[in-house]
Amino acid sequence: MTTVLVIDDSPSEMAKFRDMLAKNNFQVLEASNGEEGCAMALAHLPDVILMDVVMPEMNGFQATRKITRGKTTAHIPVVIISTKNQETDRVWGKRQGAKEYLTKPINEAELMHIIRTVLE
């Protein structure tokens, strides 16, 4: 079963992701901030990571950079999913190592397509 690590500090967003992913037969791991997410990525080596940007302490850009540049976690595709929808945010996210950058609110069909695409 494909494992997806969701890193998001919003309980309501986490619930939406959990429901969408479970319904589509993904195993879901959850982290509520960037620091915890980086630790979980290293411990569990998920197949893909969904990353929020606006979080306390370590933001999603910093966590994405840490994961995509880490020796053990560099192979894991990171998809940033954020309310930040400026082109500069999108470019910066990709420069940190994200494979894709989506904006909230997320469309389930689009998310499933993107996950399958980055896993190929």
* Rounded distance between C-alpha atoms, residue 5 and residue 48, angstroms: 6
Query: What is the tally of structural domains in the chain?
Result: 1
* Rounded distance between C-alpha atoms, residue 41 and residue 39, angstroms: 5
Per residue in 4-34, pLDDT (tens digit) is 999 999 999 999 999 999 999 999 999 999 9
Per residue in 46-102, pLDDT (tens digit) is 999 999 999 988 999 999 999 999 999 999 999 999 999 999 999 999 999 999 999
Please tell me the predicted confidence (pLDDT) of residue 29. Answer: 98
Please tell me the predicted confidence (pLDDT) of residue 97. Answer: 98
pTM recorded for the entire structure: 0.97
Please tell me the predicted confidence (pLDDT) of residue 110. Answer: 96
**What phi-psi label fits residue 91: left (phi over 0), alpha (psi between -120 and 50 degrees) or beta?**
alpha
In this prediction, what percent of the chain has a pLDDT beyond 90?
A: 98
The 8-class DSSP code of residue 85 comes to -
pLDDT-based confidence at residue 35 (cuts at 50, 70, 90): very high
Q: Which domain holds residue 71?
A: 3-119
Q: What is the CATH number of the domain that holds 34?
A: 3.40.50.2300
* Rounded distance between C-alpha atoms, residue 66 and residue 11, angstroms: 24
CA 71 to chain centre: 18
28 strand-pairing partners: 4
10 within 8 A of 32, measured Cβ to Cβ: no
